[in-house]
Amino acid sequence: MIKKGFFLVGASFLISGCSPTQQPESLQTAELTAPAFIGSPATPKPFEGKPADNLFMAPHSKSTMHSDGYNSDVHSAMGPLGIDPQMTTRSGSKLPGGMCATITFDQQGQLVALCASMVGFELQLLSPQSLELLARYKLPSRPSSFQALVKRDRDVIMSDTSGGAYYYLDDKDRVVLADSTQTIVRVGHSQDEQGNWSFNLEDSWDLSQDVPNDCMDWGNWFPSGECDPITAVMPDHNGLIWWVTRFGRVGTLNPDNGEIKGIHLANEEIQNGFSVDQNAVYIVSDHATYSMKADADGSPKTIWRETYDRGSSRKVGSINQGSGTTPTLIGDKYITVTDNADEKINLLVYRREADFKGDRLICSVPLFTAGKSSTDNSMIGYGRSIIIENNFGYTNAMEHKDWSTVTGGISKIDVREDESGCDVAWTSSEKAPSVVPKLSSANGLAYFYTFEAQEGTNEMAWYLMALDAETGETAFKIRTGAGQQFDNNWAPISIGPDGTAYIGTLNGILAIWDGNRQSPKL
């Protein structure tokens, strides 16, 4: 079991506004021979509509890794159009790692980011565009970091989604996450009279009596019990904080009285986040998709369950043998996930209403190339449309060497208005090996992260790529750098309120914006 003597629980770190450590240290690129810009600046094609806000979360576009409680991966701000692109980079750590994987935005437009290194996770408060560090908050180290070292197996880390990445920002700009000690914490941030920012622990709830936590770690070399880390948290529309664990536990926490309720989906694994609308909570395991609701006492109750083809094995480009997607809610009626079928994964679209009579499955659409079809990221969902990328062939930034294995492919699928099925609207051959893509509703561009081979060097050049969501045509690519440090390694793209695009990389974070725009004054 993790010993609290090995870390500071709730430690708050404050950095003065004049401190030199506040300024970002840039990521170091390998030699660059690829063009700095490919394509042409885009013309906005905005569309309207957004998911209903959850009153217990920060507004749409700002609250989660996937933008909102629907996991729509849609941002309302206008992302970069490719006009005189500007970029800032920040190294996340002087230690191995440093990726800032999850980014949310507070009411002032500042970045609240979860960043990681080999020694642990921390929250960072960053200024928009400049990426100046305003405050840090250390989180407990994950047992998987220790296990990877002992077992000499990096996959232990890469297949562990616990530790806080699936956090949310609440309606008061507080981070709510489950750390590696099975504790759900609520962490706020504030500025003092001298202008200095700090994080502060406001609430914590210990779930270790309800969720097994006998994990191999520095203080526990030979565990005898079960280790089942909490992977994600999200509030329902009544204010209960829902949580899920890697090995199939689902529960609620009442933040008003600390009551904890839970059930166990035996022999099922949950490695992704989950979605919430006004009526239910939607969870995908490595066997099935669930709609759940809390009983009067807060206990999770299954409304409906839909199994899918989980295939015969875990694929290259997947975290487990099951759907790699966080469920995406579309409009008021639909939910979409993928299966893990052997030859081609299928995009599945279901009706999500509780009292629907008949077959919930609207369509099952096979995607990409036979034998080379896999995704481990949430889809973009808007209107009646879904955009999805193929991650087959990619492993992780620390181990991937042969880029020919990344087969690529990005598709848009539309749900027919009569609900008789779905149609593939377009397919692009572009490659997006691991990024969580985002759509800007203000300009109609879908953003991905891709690579291009360079002449005269073995290092790939990396690009922020924009596709026209209506046609699938590639609008432009903005070069960010070359080499391992610029590989985004499964992190999301996030679009700030000022239109700046942020991308987590193996060793830090990038900010890209149009030169004709400036960061808002905070």
Q: Give the C-alpha separation, 480 to 506, whole Å.
A: 13
Q: Give the C-alpha separation, 135 to 123, whole Å.
A: 8
Return mean pLDDT, the chain.
89
Domain contains 168: no
Q: Give the C-alpha separation, 186 to 184, whole Å.
A: 7
Q: Which residue has the higher pLDDT, 156 or 280?
A: 280
Q: Of the candidates 354, 200, 366, which has an alpha carbon nearest to the alpha carbon of residue 290?
A: 354
| Long-range pairs of 329-332 with CB within 8 A, sequence gap ≥ 24 | 329/51, 329/70, 329/71, 329/72, 329/275, 329/277, 329/282, 329/381, 330/70, 330/72, 330/381, 330/382, 330/383, 330/384, 330/385, 330/386, 330/415, 331/383, 331/384
What is the residue whose two structure tokens read 């990396």?
462
Q: Does residue 521 carry a pLDDT above 50?
A: no
State the residue range of the domain holding 392: 56-91+206-514
Give the number of other CB atoms < 10 A from CB of residue 22.
17
Domain contains 195: no
Tokens of 55: 């009153």
Q: Give the C-alpha separation, 440 to 37, whole Å.
A: 20
What is the residue whose two structure tokens read 């159009």?
81
Domain contains 32: no
Please give the pLDDT value at position 118.
Answer: 62
* Average of per-residue pLDDT across 87-104: 80
Q: Give the C-alpha separation, 517 to 114, whole Å.
A: 26
Counting Cα atoms < 13 Å in the Cβ hemisphere of 152 gives 0
Domain contains 393: yes
Q: Give the C-alpha separation, 171 to 422, whole Å.
A: 36
Which CATH number does the domain housing residue 466 bear?
Answer: 2.130.10
Please give the pLDDT value at position 147.
Answer: 60
Q: Which residue has the higher pLDDT, 281 or 9?
A: 281
Q: Give the C-alpha separation, 387 to 376, whole Å.
A: 13
Domain contains 111: no
Q: Does residue 181 carry a pLDDT above 60?
A: yes
pLDDT class of 226 with cuts at 50, 70, 90: confident
Q: DSSP code of 77?
A: S
Please give the pLDDT value at position 5.
Answer: 28
DSSP character string of 396-435: -TTT---GGG----EEEEEE-TTSS-EEEEEEE----SS-
pLDDT class of 10 with cuts at 50, 70, 90: very low
| Contact partners, residue 468, CB within 8 Å, separation at least 6 | 42, 45, 444, 445, 446, 474, 475
Angle at 389 between CA 409 and CA 505, to 5 degrees: 110
Number of domains in the chain: 1
User: Does residue 63 contact residue 177 with C-beta atoms inside 8 Å?
Assistant: no
Domain contains 180: no
Whether the model pTM is above 0.85: yes
- The H or E element spanning position 346 is strand 346-351
Q: Does residue 450 carry a pLDDT above 50?
A: yes
Dihedral pair phi/psi, residue 354, rounded to 5°: -70, -40
Domain contains 5: no
Please give the pLDDT value at position 97.
Answer: 57
Tokens of 73: 């991966």
Please give the pLDDT value at position 204.
Answer: 97
Segment among 44-53, 87-96, 145-154, 168-177 with least mean pLDDT: 145-154
pLDDT class of 324 with cuts at 50, 70, 90: confident
pLDDT class of 384 with cuts at 50, 70, 90: very high
Q: Does residue 514 carry a pLDDT above 80?
A: yes
User: Does residue 352 contact residue 291 with C-beta atoms inside 8 Å?
Assistant: yes
Q: Does residue 7 carry a pLDDT above 70?
A: no
Please tell me whether residue 184 adopts helix, strand or coil conformation. strand
What is the residue whose two structure tokens read 């450590």?
21
Q: Does residue 249 carry a pLDDT above 90?
A: yes
Q: Does residue 502 carry a pLDDT above 70?
A: yes
Please give the pLDDT value at position 399.
Answer: 84
Please tell me whether residue 240 adopts helix, strand or coil conformation. coil
Q: Of the candidates 399, 435, 407, which has an alpha carbon nearest to the alpha carbon of residue 344?
A: 407
> What are the E-state strand segments in 361-520?
361-366, 380-382, 385-389, 410-415, 422-428, 438-440, 445-452, 461-468, 474-482, 493-495, 501-505, 508-514
Rg (CA), the chain: 21
Q: Give the C-alpha separation, 222 to 22, whole Å.
A: 41
Per-residue pLDDT tens digits for 334-352:
999 999 999 999 999 999 9
Please give the pLDDT value at position 52.
Answer: 83
Domain contains 3: no
User: Does residue 288 contact residue 305 with C-beta atoms inside 8 Å?
Assistant: yes
Q: DSSP code of 151?
A: H
